[in-house]
Amino acid sequence: MIDGKKVLFSGMQATGTLTLGNFAGALRNWVALSDEYECFYCVVDLHSITVRQEPAELRKRARNLLMLYIAAGLDPAKNCIYYQSHVSGHAELSWILNCFTYMGELNRMTQFKDKSRKHADNINAGLFTYPVLMASDILLFQSDVVPVGIDQMQHLEITRDIAQRFNAIYGDVFTIPEAYVGKTGAKIMSLQDPEKKMSKSDENPNASVYLMDDADTIIRKFKRAVTDSEARICYSDTQPGIKNLIEIYCTLSGKSPEEAVREFEGRGYGDLKLAVGETVVDALKPVQEEFARLSKDKAYIDGIIRENADKANYYATKTLRRVQKKVGFPERIR
C-alpha cells in the first residue's frame, strides 16, 4: 500500500513497434486502472537485451515507448513512468531471487522455449532467467496487481511461487501479486494467421497493426486479413479470423460480441473488415496525435524521466534494503 492505495505494476519491452495487441491487451487496461491504484509503469529495457539489440535503436525505442505510455492516456504526474535501467534495484533484487528459483521451474516457461527456438544462435542466461527479473520488477514495489495479457500468466505464477517461497523462509517480506487480465482484448491474434498472437516481433508487417500506422495502412491491413470461406459472421472458435475481427471491434467499441454479431448479420466479410478498420483508425488517432506533440517537447519528457526515476528508486530501495537484511548482508554504515 502507498498512501492508502493498492500498488499496480506493469511493463513492456522496448523491442519492436507496439501493436494493436499491446494496446488492447495492456495499455488500454493500464489507463482504465490508473485512478484506482498507485501505479508503476516501467519501460523494461533490461529485459530487452536478452535479445541482441542495436544500441542507438534500443535507446530510441525506449524513449518512444515511454512517450507512448503518456500518449495513450497515462498521466505522468500520477503514474510513475520510468526506465527499468534507471533503478538499479531491479537488477540487485533479481540476483537475490535467482538464488530462490529452480532451474526446473525456468525450464518450463513457454516464452523461454519460444524465444530459444526463434533465437537459436543466442540462447543466453538472461533469456533463461528473464522471469526472475520480471518477478523482481513486480516484488520490488510490493505490487498487488499486475495487468498483463494471457501470454504472461505463466510469469505471474512463477512470481507468486518465488514470493511465497521467500516469505516462507524469511517472514512476510513480499506482497503476493495478482494478475489482472482484461475482459476483452486479452489476446489479439495475427491478421495473417489467426491461430497465432499478434506480436511486435512478427516478420510479416501485414500480420500486425502498429500503433503508428496511418489510416490507409490500417484499412489495407484489415482488408487483407485472413478469414475463411464460410461466409457467415459468428463469434466462434471454428472461425478464428472472424472471431479475432469481432474481438478487436468489441474491445475498442465497448460492444459485446453478441451485439456485434447482430449488427453484421447477413452482411459480407468486406463490411466487417472495413468497420473494424475504421474503429481502429479512430481509436489510434488521438494517441498518434498526442505522441507527435510529446515528441517535440524534449524538456518536458526529460523532466518526467528524472522525477519518476527518483520516485521509483525511493520505493525500490525500501524493499531492497529489507530483503538484503533478511538474507544476511551486512548493514550499511554511513
67 binds, among ligand LTN, ligand ATP, none (CB under 5 to 8 A by kind): none
199 binds, among ligand ATP, ligand LTN, none (CB under 5 to 8 A by kind): ligand ATP
Binding to ligand LTN by residue 10, rule CB under 6 A? yes
Stretch that binds ligand LTN, among 6-14, 33-41, 241-249, 251-259 (CB under 6 A): 6-14
Among 134, 219, 283, 323, binds ligand LTN (CB under 6 A): 134
**Closest listed residue to residue 152, CA positions, set 85, 199, 208, 104:** 199
201 binds, among ligand LTN, ligand ATP, none (CB under 5 to 8 A by kind): ligand ATP
Residue 200: active-site member = yes
Nearest approach, Cβ of residue 64 and ligand ATP (Å): 14
Euclidean distance between CA atoms 82 and 66, whole angstroms: 7
Residue 115: active-site member = yes
Stretch that binds ligand LTN, among 3-11, 32-40, 65-73, 240-248 (CB under 6 A): 3-11
Nearest approach, Cβ of residue 198 and ligand LTN (Å): 13
**Closest listed residue to residue 158, CA positions, set 111, 119, 198:** 111
Among 66, 134, 140, 148, binds ligand ATP (CB under 6 A): 148
- Binding footprint of ligand LTN, residue count (CB under 6 A): 14
Residues 21-60 that bind ligand ATP (CB under 6 A): 21-22, 24-26
Among 80, 146, 250, 320, binds ligand LTN (CB under 6 A): 146
Q: Are 64 and 305 in contact (CB under 8 A)?
A: no
Query: Phi first, then psi: what are they for 155, rounded to 5°?
Result: -70, -30
Candidates 6, 118, 183, 197; catalytic one? 197
Amino acid at 161: D
Q: Write a three-state SS string for the chain.
A: CECCECEEEEEECCCCCCEHHHHHHHHHHHHHHCCCCEEEEEECHHHHCCCCCCHHHHHHHHHHHHHHHHHCCCCCCCCEEEEHHHCCHHHHHHHHHHCCCCHHHHHCCHHHHHHHHHCCCCCCHHHHHHHHHHHHHHHHCCCCEEECCHHHHHHHHHHHHHHHHHHHHHCCCCCCCEEECCCCCCCCECCCCCCCECCCCCCCCCCCCECCCCHHHHHHHHHCCCCCCCCCCCCCCCCHHHHHHHHHHHHHHCCCHHHHHHHCCCCCHHHHHHHHHHHHHHHHHHHHHHHHHHHCCHHHHHHHHHHHHHHHHHHHHHHHHHHHHHHCCCCCCC
Residues 9-28 that bind ligand ATP (CB under 6 A): 12-13, 15-16, 19, 21-22, 24-26
Among 28, 47, 61, 63, binds ligand LTN (CB under 6 A): 47
Among 138, 233, 281, 283, binds ligand LTN (CB under 6 A): 138
Candidates 78, 113, 196, 200; catalytic one? 200
Among 197, 221, 243, 273, binds ligand ATP (CB under 6 A): 197
Binding to ligand LTN by residue 79, rule CB under 6 A? no
- Give contact residues for ligand ATP (rule: CB under 6 A): 12-13, 15-16, 19, 21-22, 24-26, 148-149, 151-152, 185-188, 197-201
- Give contact residues for ligand LTN (rule: CB under 6 A): 9-13, 44, 47, 134, 137-138, 146, 148, 152, 155
- Tell me which residues are annotated as active site: 115, 197, 200
